[in-house]
Amino acid sequence: MKSIFFFLFVLTSLGVNGQFFDFNFFKPSTSISAQHVVKNPTDSISIGLNDYQVSGLFPLRKKFDVDLDWGNVLKSKGLLDAFKKVVNPKFSQLFGRVGLGYRTYDSELFRTPVDVYNFSAGITGMKLQMRSGKFRFFMYSLNVRLQEQLNRYKTVSPSFSGLFGAAKIFDYRSGFFYGMYANYYAKRFIPAPILAFYYRLDKQSDFLLVFPYQIKYNLKLDNVHQGFAVSLNSFTNGVFNDSLLPNDRAERLNFSTNNLRFSSQTRFELGKKAFFYLEAGWQDVNSYNLFEGYTIEKAEQLKGNLFVKGTLRMVFGKSMFNSSVFDIDL
């Protein structure tokens, strides 16, 4: 049974810093979000949650350059072909990201509600180049995150994560991203491949698969984008050992909740630079874990919950690369 919990724990750990799955993070912006998970009254140890987050994405550096490959002039079949083979433009941009948040857990597992504060910072870089008329896209993201109960114990455990990958853009209807994600937290290192495929079905709908994180179908209706998604979700942080493990003398424990979410996701365009996201649905295959490194010290299954999440995003700048060409938005 513990091996099953560990498998789900590894997969949903990818969603702890789910920010990198948002393919619109190339837009300088500020986001404010609030989330509520309802306790299931039929489950004595069901976990209720209130989560509030604020984050900002800002440009650090951008560069545009052109390489001229004159050696391909004689290999060209015409003026347009010569331009594609000789002129190779390159775009690169570097973003910084900071975030802070507050989270409360309410459950019979704890003697009192658990208050958790989180702080995060990171950088995201991208490079887009054209060679012989074909696009090549590369990106990386490095992040550090601290998520702890304050003034309850003396030690903390920061989380470090990174993503490196490349994309192949077939046309304006489809694209494929492949890369590697890695996370180090609480003496545990987890690497995982990331594969994302986007396909525009028609002018008003598209399909997105991000393995092993999410499957989503989107439908565009005027200024409203409606999506339906199945996704993995996880919250992981340190908590005070308030009789959670009576035989463990450690003051601090690593706590994680993991689940599978079925949701409706709606994006409202409030203006050219303001968007409101509303997500609501049901989360199931619930569990919580207390762990140290690769060892799960305690794990229990929970019944499902209703949840709702709202996010306000305000864009305050432009990016050299705009993913709205594909209208990808998680």
**Burial category of 144 from C-beta neighbours within 10 Å (exposed 0-12, middle 13-18, buried 19 and up):** middle
**CA distances, 117 to each of 103, 124, 236 (Å):** 6, 23, 12
For 216, 306, 309, 330, the CA distances from 263, given in Å and listed in that order, are 10, 10, 10, 12
The torsion region of residue 285 among left (phi > 0), alpha (psi -120 to 50) and beta comes to left
Q: What is the pLDDT of residue 31?
A: 94
d(CA 288, CA 301): 7
Judge whether 203 lies within some domain. Answer: yes
Do the domain assignments include residue 11?
yes
Note the pLDDT of residue 68.
Answer: 64
Reading the block at residue 206, the tokens are 């598209």
49 inside domain = yes
DSSP E strands in 132-273: the ranges are 134-148, 159-171, 174-185, 188-202, 205-211, 214-221, 224-240, 252-271
Bridge partners (DSSP) of residue 101 are 53, 118
Residues of the domain holding 217: 2-325
Query: CA 224 → CA 31, 97, 117, 267, distances in Å?
Result: 19, 27, 33, 6
Q: How far apart are CA 234 and CA 254, in angstroms?
A: 13
Which parts of the chain sit beneath pLDDT 70? 1-26, 66-87, 131-134, 317-330
CA distance 29 to 97: 10
Does residue 148 lie within any of the structural domains? yes
Break the chain down into helix, strand, coil percent, rounded to 5.
10, 65, 25
Amino acid at 72: N
User: How far from 1 is each of 52, 84, 293, 301, CA to CA, in Å?
Assistant: 33, 57, 18, 10
Residue 330 located in a structural domain:
no
Task: Report how far residue 287's alpha carbon sits from residue 13's, in angstroms, rounded to the nearest whole number.
Answer: 13
Tokens standing for residue 207: 């399909």
Residues 6+ apart with CB under 8 A from 91: 62, 63, 64, 127, 128, 129, 320, 321
Predicted local confidence at residue 63, as pLDDT: 82
What's the total number of domains in the chain?
1
How many CB atoms are closer than 10 A to CB 114?
22
